[in-house]
Amino acid sequence: MEGSWGKTRPMNQNWPKSPSGEPEKAVFLCNSRALDFGDELKISMLESYGIPCLRDYPGDGSFGKVVLGMSGQGTDIYVPESMLEEARNLLAAEPEEQE
């Protein structure tokens, strides 16, 4: 993923910057399958909590995304290094049941 900014999607303007003004390093959060729209749900949830995400479609995933509407190898989700722990905690949280 390093060196591939904008490969699958332009850099989010909310992406944090390092003290030198460069975009913060993107780190791998998880790979999510697209069959149940899990990738889109995770990205939407993270972004709603203010955590910007980058997507990468491994292997021939970009081709599959264009032809089939989903990547056969899922979506790799990357977040800013400083927000990795918060993103992991959000994805690991159990949903609260409403009565």
| Site of tokens 């975009």 | 23
Which CATH number fits the domain that encloses residue 32?
Answer: 3.30.70
The answer to the question of residue 19 being in a domain is no
Give the pair of three-digit tokens for residue 70: 């989903």
The answer to the question of residue 15 being in a domain is no
Global pTM value: 0.74
Q: Tens digits of per-residue pLDDT, 35-47? A: 667 788 899 999 9
> What does the pLDDT read at residue 4?
46
Q: Tens digits of per-residue pLDDT, 60-75? A: 655 555 555 555 677 8
What is the rounded distance in angstroms from the CA atom of residue 59 to the CA atom of residue 77? 14
Nearest to 54 by CA among 3, 4, 9: 9
Nearest to 82 by CA among 29, 12, 6: 29
> What residues make up the domain containing 48?
26-89
Give the pair of three-digit tokens for residue 38: 């899990």
pLDDT band at 5 (very low <50, low <70, confident <90, very high): very low
> What does the pLDDT read at residue 26?
94
